[in-house]
Structure 1
């Protein structure tokens, strides 16, 4: 099945659900300047631009997992150096070299690639989750569950972005 072919049933539902929540996330950025997209308008450190960047990276990582890439093992103990903390924080904000337009364009590429996977991968194929301190060994997720997880992450962060955007200028995604 090519990405141009129509899909129906479960795959169409997954694509629709992903598309709807991606729309809400992108909508929160509509008309924002780079400065506004980097604004911390709540007590949280989250920003609209940073959330879009984060969701894009998370979706890319889960899409790789859905193709059989188990990912790197997470060490049990990590030394939280200032550099590691800064690197972690940069996942949730626009850095000096990034723009809102740039992260939105990257998000579109990631979304298109994931949509192609929804159309073509075996939804029943399962892979073991990577080792992590919070994850017991031997837990498997189907590709279907991975796509549902991506949709849930997107929806959750679209809600975060909506609150941040409303605090900036009153715009809301819904209501």
Structure 2
């Protein structure tokens, strides 16, 4: 597996969405981890919001960030499980214009190494919404660490080879849609 280094690092503006009925800024350890990892890597925090498990509230916030051309990516934590309250995938799905199925597949494969078959309870997903990347991670801090360190940060790094999502962003934003 070749991991050649490519040209310069490009900082992205990333919004963080914590989906929880119980977390506050004081105890949002997963949001804290995501923010710390992003800023340590050189990215910029565009916004950080905590919202309850409510499809319409989540969708409204995500739509606002997708419409904001200064936001390059959104990373959510929470709401990807199997309970009735877990609604992040349902909120995100209608906004996705291009799914990235490999994200959820790879996340569950990596997670299997850490938590075994319990990984099937995660509905982690990612996609492109118009020209904004959206990544949905589970709410556990360990799951966020796995997703950030092993998938998201390398893909949001323009120096990662042979390819990465950051170098695709200009084409995503400017390529005409097929007719």
TM-score by length of 2: 0.31
Give the structure with the larger strand fraction.
2
Q: Give 1 or 2 for the bigger CA radius of gyration.
A: 1
Tell which has more relative contact order, 1 or 2 (C-alpha 8 A, sep 6+): 1
Give the structure with the larger helix fraction.
1
